[in-house]
Amino acid sequence: MKARNIAVKLLAALVLLGYGSLLLYWMFWGFGRSSHIALGGDFRYNLEPFETIRLFTRSAGWNNLRAPLINLAGNVALFIPFGVLFPILFRRCRRYPVFIIRFLALILLLELAQGISGAGVADVDDLILNGAGATIGYIGYRLAVGPEKKRGGRRDGRKSAAAGSGRTAQERR
């Protein structure tokens, strides 16, 4: 691996560690949430897609923009960096289906932990908004580095001896 790639991966890992820690703090302890944490309390959840989004958009008005903006735009914007960092750090996350499945699985675990602990609500709308943010980041990553390159049909990236010999398929038979 080239020194530049190592430096980029190291920087991405440090950013992910720091940024991820900050988000975990916000999700479980920040904004007065720690006073609500009580294991064994009621499990709070929303399984109806777009319900929370609908409630926030209906409540938005000129005199009440802060809460909807923080919830809706924040749940998108705060997760954009993951769409860039995951593909840099994890080779398999360079393919969008693998990336989004792994990202949403992680968010689902965090949402369940929020609901169980009482620090927040396990909300399907958060998965939708966070996934949209991560997808925006992934699109930005793809625009910056280009499309995923095919590796000659082999997973490990090595070419077969026949494929690298310069002979046509007809000649190899």
Write out pLDDT tens, residues 116-125.
Answer: 888 888 999 9
- In which element (H, E) is residue 123 found? strand 122-123
Average of per-residue pLDDT across 105-110: 97
- In which element (H, E) is residue 45 found? strand 45-46
Confidence band of 60 (pLDDT split at 50, 70, 90)? confident
Per-residue pLDDT, 74: 93
Per-residue pLDDT, 63: 76
Query: Are 15 and 90 in contact, with CB atoms under 8 Å apart?
Result: no
pLDDT at 171 over 90: no
Per-residue pLDDT, 37: 60
Query: Are 42 and 115 in contact, with CB atoms under 8 Å apart?
Result: no
Rg, the chain, Cα only: 21
Tokens for 172, please give them: 């190899």
pLDDT, one tens digit per residue, over 124-154 is 999 999 999 999 999 999 999 998 877 665 5
